[in-house]
Amino acid sequence: MDRRQTRQIRVGDVPVGGGAPVSVQSMTTTKTADVGETLAQVYALKGAGADIVRITCNTVEAAQGLAEIVPRSPVPIIADIHFQYRLALAALEAGVDGLRLNPGNIRNEDHIKTVAREAKARGVPIRVGVNAGSLDKDLLAEYGGPVPEALVASAVKEIRYLEDVDFTDIKISVKHSHVPSMVASYRLLADTVDYPLHLGVTEAGPPPGGLIKSVAGIATLLLEGIGDTIRFSLTADPVEEAKAGRQLLEYLGLRERQGLDLIACPSCGRAEVDVIEVATRAQRQLEAANLPIQVAVMGCIVNGPGEAREADIGIAAGRGKGHLFIKGQVVRVVDEADMVDALLDEARKLVDEGVEARLAAADQAAREAAEAEAVALAEAQGDANQAARKRRAVADVAEG
């Protein structure tokens, strides 16, 4: 897709904007002064797909913790700063890779410029993090509430302070908990500045609602080419934020797949197994194996391999049998009880050996057996989806 052209900054070794891959960010929930616990969470976030991690810096002890965390972190660390500008200076001294400043609670122009000068001297970028819930009271009064125009005005005002001291390593967010307002704010901002943008629906809440709101806002903008980093702000384990963010980028084709993408049919009259149970068990085992492939679980052999032929690998149920297929071609037939174990075994081989090698190793009799089973099942079940009757009815209406 065409992406909005922006300047590029670097958060540690992660490029942001300017055509760089969209990055995933999350935030620790530990006390920063507890170095061990915080680092453990940072590593967990990295494992779940986070490219950048934000850590609160709200006390001197937290800043001291950052001094130990940053050199041991597997990802760049951004210090989250509220109210006290001197803690931003302390975080810079601790060696952080980025700062997040909230214009709603650090409003002194001199303080902001002091931080910007020090950040510039150290080559550290700043995120101007506007939030609808902490907007400057003067802007709230001027615009009548946290409307998109007010959020963008807050960001522009802060940017001017930074640019006054020749600081331009900037990325911006204008987060709102109301999805339509969030989308409108970022669209307006994208038309106003050329800095990279960090997307998020603030205070999205716990899953599943928080996930739905986040996807609705973030995906809408990404599909319009807007956005350079993302964060799912969930009331949940932050590992779930990183995982969801990474999956979204993979599903949109904005990042190369590193994790599992499992697709499954919604089931129908032809289903020979409990599709939900099989898919759930397959997802659990395949995720544990950390296989970066697309897997299909289909309820029947009649249409399954054809409908899911774009999947790397899949399995379709027959009468007491499971038919394993690769790119739509059946390669093995196994007992129904062994479906998931066989799928996991074949998936591992597929990742290790590649598609062509596994197709070459296919059981040549499996395709014929699958075709015969599909015909027999269709004959036994009849028109399970009533497709023939529906086609006649449609034709009757169309022909009058």
pLDDT at 273: 79
Per-residue pLDDT of the chain (400 residues; tens, 9 = 90+): 789 999 999 999 999 999 999 999 999 999 999 999 999 999 999 989 999 999 999 999 999 999 999 999 999 999 999 999 999 999 999 999 999 999 989 999 999 999 999 999 999 999 999 999 999 899 999 999 999 999 999 999 999 999 999 999 999 999 999 999 999 999 999 999 999 999 999 999 999 999 999 999 999 999 999 999 999 999 999 999 999 999 999 999 999 888 888 888 877 766 777 888 888 999 999 989 988 899 989 887 776 777 778 889 999 887 788 889 999 889 998 988 898 999 999 999 999 999 999 999 888 787 777 677 777 766 776 665 566 777 788 888 878 6
CB of 119 closer than 8 Å to CB of 126: yes
pLDDT at 385: 59
Task: Please list, in sequence order, all residues whose beta carbon lies within 8 angstroms of the beta carbon of residue 185, skipping any fewer than 6 positions away.
Answer: 148, 151, 152, 174, 176
pLDDT at 115: 97
What's the rounded Cα separation, in Å, for the pair 314 and 360? 17
Q: Which CATH number fits domain 261-381: 3.30.413.10, 3.40.50.11540, 3.40.1130.10, 3.40.50.1820?
A: 3.30.413.10
CB of 181 closer than 8 Å to CB of 132: yes
Looking at the chain, how many residues does it have?
Answer: 400
pLDDT at 244: 96
CB of 162 closer than 8 Å to CB of 112: yes
Structure tokens at 308: 């899911």
pLDDT at 142: 96
Distance of CA 374 to the CA centre of its chain: 38
What's the rounded Cα separation, in Å, for the pair 319 and 374? 10
In angstroms, the Cα distances linking 142 to 146, 150, 152, 317 are 10, 8, 13, 63
SS3 assignment, position 138: helix
SS3 assignment, position 54: strand
pLDDT at 383: 60
Q: Which CATH number fits domain 8-251: 2.40.10.10, 3.20.20.20, 3.90.105.20, 3.40.50.300?
A: 3.20.20.20
pLDDT at 240: 96
Among 162, 56, 153, CA closest to 104? 153
Q: What residue segments make up the domains of the chain, in order of their start? A: 8-251, 261-381
What's the rounded Cα separation, in Å, for the pair 297 and 304? 8
Q: What does the pLDDT look like over 122-180, one tens digit per residue?
A: 999 999 999 999 998 999 999 999 999 999 999 999 999 999 999 999 999 999 999 99
Instruction: Please count the CA atoms within 13 angstroms of the CA of 387 that sit on its side-chain side.
Output: 10
What's the rounded Cα separation, in Å, for the pair 64 and 129? 23
pLDDT at 134: 92
Q: What does the pLDDT look like over 278-336, one tens digit per residue?
A: 889 999 999 899 888 999 898 877 767 777 788 899 998 877 888 899 998 899 989 88
CB of 132 closer than 8 Å to CB of 148: no
Task: Please list, in sequence order, all residues whose beta carbon lies within 8 angstroms of the beta carbon of residue 221, skipping any fewer than 6 positions away.
Answer: 183, 186, 187, 199, 227
Structure tokens at 252: 């949109």
pLDDT at 387: 64
Q: Which residue has the tokens 């041991």?
A: 72
Per CATH, 8-251 and 261-381 having the same topology is answered: no
SS3 assignment, position 327: coil
Q: Return the number of other C-beta atoms located less than 10 Å from residue 369's C-beta.
A: 17
Beta-strand runs (E) in the chain: 8-11, 14-17, 23-27, 52-56, 77-81, 98-101, 126-131, 170-175, 198-199, 229-230, 261-264, 294-298, 313-317, 321-326, 329-335
